[in-house]
Amino acid sequence: MKYEIVMGLETHVRVKSETKMFCSCRNAVALAEEPNENVCGVCMGFPGMLPVLNEKIVDLAVRASNAMRMTVNEISIFDRKSYFYPDLPAGFQITQLFHPIAEHGEVKTMVDGAEKTFRIHRMHIENDAGKLVHAGSTTLLDYNRAGSPLMEIVTEPDFRSKPEVIAYLEELQKIMRWCGASDADMEKGQLRCDVNISIRPVGSDVLNNRVELKNLNSFSAIGRAIDNEFARQIEIMESGGRVTQETRGWDDEHGESRPQRSKEDAMDYRYFPEPDLPPLHVLGEFVQARLVPELPIDRRRKYLVEYKLQEDDARILSNERTLSDYYEELVALTGDPKKSCSYVTTVLFAIVLEHNARVRSEGVKSFLAVPAKELARVIELVAGDELSSTNSKAVVEELFENGGEADEIVDRLGLRQVNDTAALDAVVEQVIVEFAAQVSEYQAGKVQLFGFLVGSCMKASKGQGNPKMFTEMLKKKIG
């Protein structure tokens, strides 16, 4: 029998705020130097301490909701989820179960060259727990992360393959960076993903018992875990068994998963409305002021369909907002998407690669040292035959290294192409006289000498003559 895999994702994304969710401790966006450095009575759960909601968290969560085309609820309510674990000193997490901040959205992405839409079921905001550090036979506790803000984003069971899951996560990462809600760096624990997996015979629409896979720490680990779980469930079904609904932890080192606990339901956590926080009211105007009109996928589609760029170029130029905005600005100035693309992805990127050290220290800013206005002028000069495309690279290089204006650089380096007919005509005449022998050989049928004659004109004009015009003039004069 043929089986298909049905998957849904639960992703925790760390909100990029300066401070934690309910106190003024520094948020663990980056890894802290020392353990238990950024802690206070609130995030340590001391008795009697009162949480105060950080407005920045709501701000960024609303931006993220808008970017995922979700409906932001006017009223959302915080709930207490009680459980005991050493990394949770309060004995409960403050989360949103019954009334989340946002619902019903979608993430569009490209999978194998085709656009796909994955539905978002809901998103709620909640605080993170601390971290257990296992060191030999002892376990240490680090509460720097306790109370850090998270967005939990739950999808519908819309995923049917590993590439779909990876594509969605990559898009989610782009969207979060694009709207500024999170850097969503998996290595830094800013994006964590659990995958719910069930299988069914192809063509069936039942949803069988699902297994929740946890502890997936990288895109490649997610891929391996999905393959492994798909095979494991098929084996159970084929041997007449039933898949147990449970949570399993993925052990990437050994390439296998192990049961962690049977799936508990909401009852076990004794959820109830958090008495220390009032309901959260998010006004329509607050939501409207945080719209994210254009997303990476919208730009990518435009670059592919309207601008007819190559797939790789369209993807690269829409991945990241600073670069994409730069490209947009360049296209607006030149009116030529393809030339603008090649000046960014080949000329500028090559220069950036040569200056790796500077790029490492300054990041994207370093190549924005070449203002779009000046790069547009370079493209215009080439299009107008005032600068050869070979020489244009030297101009961009100079702009990158020392700044300045394109026109001034072209003149200073003596690179402006001469298009003055009289001046070029004099050069051609001089070459015909100087290389009279070659001219007669050419006229006698040695056609390959034509290139030599054009080259001689270029040389005589110190590289500043327009090769196209030399070609036409020579053809007229010597046939």
Binding site for Zn ion (CB under 5 A): 23, 25, 40, 42-43
- Count of CB atoms situated within 10 Å of the CB of 22: 23
Q: Tell me which stretch binds Mn ion (CB under 5 A): 151-159, 177-185, 345-353, 394-402.
A: 151-159
- Listed in order, strand segments (DSSP E) in 176-319 are 191-201, 211-216, 246-251, 256-262, 272-273, 280-281
Q: Tell me which stretch binds Mn ion (CB under 5 A): 147-155, 381-389, 396-404, 451-459.
A: 147-155
CB 442 within 8 A of CB 449: yes
Give min distance, CB of 36 to Zn ion, in A.
11
Give min distance, CB of 50 to Zn ion, in A.
12
Which residue, 152 or 374, is less far from Mn ion as judged by CB? Answer: 152
The neighbouring-strand residues paired with 283 are none
Give min distance, CB of 95 to Mn ion, in A.
6
Give min distance, CB of 14 to Mn ion, in A.
12
Report the chain's terminal Cα–Cα distance, integer Å.
Answer: 76
Tokens of 150: 């998270």
Provide the edge-to-edge strand list for the sheet that holds 92-95.
92-95, 79-82, 272-273
Which residue, 40 or 237, is less far from Zn ion as judged by CB? Answer: 40
Give min distance, CB of 146 to Zn ion, in A.
8
CB 107 within 8 A of CB 154: no
Which residue, 194 or 374, is less far from Mn ion as judged by CB? Answer: 194
Among 128, 152, 158, 274, binds Mn ion (CB under 5 A): 152
The candidate with the shortest Cα–Cα distance to 120, out of 50, 71, 191, 61, is 71
CB 300 within 8 A of CB 110: yes
Q: Tell me which stretch binds Mn ion (CB under 5 A): 150-158, 193-201, 203-211, 250-258.
A: 150-158
Give min distance, CB of 20 to Zn ion, in A.
5
Total number of residues that touch Mn ion (CB under 5 A): 1
Q: Tell me which stretch binds Mn ion (CB under 5 A): 63-71, 146-154, 401-409, 428-436.
A: 146-154
Look at the alpha carbons of 402, 408, 412, 416 in this order and tell me if their dihedral is positive or negative.
positive
Which listed option, Zn ion, Mn ion, none, makes contact with residue 152 (CB within 5 to 8 Å by class)?
Mn ion
Look at the alpha carbons of 24, 29, 31, 33 in this order and tell me if their dihedral is positive or negative.
negative
Which listed option, Zn ion, Mn ion, none, makes contact with residue 25 (CB within 5 to 8 Å by class)?
Zn ion
Which listed option, Mn ion, Zn ion, none, makes contact with residue 328 (CB within 5 to 8 Å by class)?
none
Binding site for Mn ion (CB under 5 A): 152
